[in-house]
Amino acid sequence: MADNKPKKESKPSWRHYNFTTAGPVDDYLYSMLPKRDEVLAEMEEYASKHSIPIVGPAVARVLYQLALMINAKTVFELGSAIGYSTIWWARAVGKEGRVIYTDGDSKNAERARGYFERAGVADRITLHTGDALEVLSEQKEQFDIIFNDVDKEDYPRVLRLVSPRLRKGGLFITDNVLWSGRVAQKNPKQPQTKAILEFNRLLYDSGDFVTTILPIRDGVAVGLKK
Ligand SMILES: C[S@@+](CC[C@H](N)C(=O)[O-])C[C@H]1O[C@@H](n2cnc3c(N)ncnc32)[C@H](O)[C@@H]1O
């Protein structure tokens, strides 16, 4: 007799539940992180108190490590807020390196400048207040890393600007690409979710990059420029 029961979709055995984005495994990962210095610790506290969406120490460490892995000396950052991720980049590129900070809010830039002085990295950082996409589009050089952390609706537009301004072997890194899991919604209505979905699809389909999303915190996309 024919079995007309609808077949249950089975997942391959290697598809384990992703434990890294929530719960006790996440707590474990954070407990492993070394203590940050006084300035970074103060910034984390300030960001938490004032709901400033910084990448936090687990993602910052990934950024730092990626920069060291490709011996990055130049980083362009879109969306820097109070400069938390900027300081990690500045430390990774070293004394001879250069990081471009961008943010639309001049109060953020003012606060960031104070932190950069105290962290001893002010001389490696150039601050721009204004539209980060505009500042990037004016750049004539090719960077080792471009880090994207602006408003999510702008992500597809950022992608179109990046490739000519990134060297071969450079990294295009983007935060929040899992958007608290909303990327898995069936019919997302939120414009930010739709923009992130479009961005992720374009990035994975792009012939210019080899891309992987690291499911740490809110998802970090790492695209290697071919
Ligand atoms: C998520 S926060 C950046 C956090 C920072 N990358 C960190 O981890 O320390 C995003 C920041 O981008 C800024 N921003 C958003 N869209 C922007 C744009 N088009 N141009 C410049 N700044 C923008 C906002 O003012 C906000 O401070």
Question: Is the pLDDT at 193 greater than 90, yes or no?
Answer: yes
In a domain, 13, yes or no: no
Provide mean pLDDT across the span 42-67: 97
Q: Residue range 48-71: average pLDDT?
A: 98
Q: What is the mean pLDDT of residues 38-67?
A: 98
The token pair that represents 178 in the structure block: 């899992």
pLDDT band of residue 104 (cuts 50, 70, 90) is very high
Q: Is residue 120 part of a domain?
A: yes
The number of domains in the chain is 1
Residue 90: domain span: 36-225
Residue whose Cα lies nearest atom 19 of ligand 1: it is 131
Mean pLDDT of 13-34: 81
In a domain, 14, yes or no: no
Mean pLDDT, all residues of the chain: 94
pTM, 2 dp: 0.95
Q: How far is CA 47 from each of CA 43, 55, 142, rounded to the nearest angstrom?
A: 6, 10, 31
Q: Are 87 and 94 in contact (CB under 8 A)?
A: no
Residue 160 placed within a domain: yes
Q: Which two tokens stand for residue 194?
A: 């739709």
Considering only CA atoms, which residue is closest to atom 11 of ligand 1?
A: 79
Phi first, then psi: give them for residue 125, nearest 5 degrees.
-120, 130
Burial per residue of 130-155, b for 16 or more beta-carbon CB atoms within 10 angstroms, e otherwise: eebbebbeeeeebbbbbbbbbebebb
* Residue 170 maps to a domain: yes
Helices (H), 70-190: 84-93, 106-119, 132-137, 155-162
Give residues (CB < 6 A) around ligand 1: 53-55, 79-81, 84-85, 102-105, 108, 131-133, 149-151, 154
Residue of 63, 82, 89, 103 best suited for mutating to test ligand 1, as the one with most atoms within 8 Å of CB: 103
Report the nearest atom of ligand 1 relative to the CA of 56: 8
Ligand 1 atom 5, closest CA: 80
In a domain, 128, yes or no: yes
**Token pair belonging to 145:** 């890393």
194 CA from centroid of ligand 1 (Å): 19
Residues pairing with 145 in the sheet: 75, 171
Q: Kindly report the CATH number assigned to the domain that includes residue 218.
A: 3.40.50.150
Is residue 28 pLDDT above 70, yes or no?
yes
- Sign of the four-CA dihedral 164, 170, 175, 179: positive
Residue 31 lies in a domain: no
Alpha-carbon Rg of the chain, whole angstroms? 19
Taking only the tens place, the pLDDT of each residue in 119-155 is 999 999 999 999 999 999 999 999 999 999 999 999 9
Question: What distances in angstroms separate CA 145 from CA 69, 167, 183, 223, one per listed residue?
Answer: 11, 8, 25, 10
Q: Is the pLDDT of residue 199 over 90?
A: yes
What's the gap in Å between 14 CA and the centre of ligand 1? 36
Instruction: Tell me if 141 is assigned to some domain.
Output: yes
DSSP conformation letters of 11-79: PPTT----GGGSSHHHHHHHHTSPPP-HHHHHHHHHHHHTT----HHHHHHHHHHHHHHTT--EEEEE-
| Main-chain dihedrals φ then ψ at residue 178, nearest 5 degrees | -100, -15
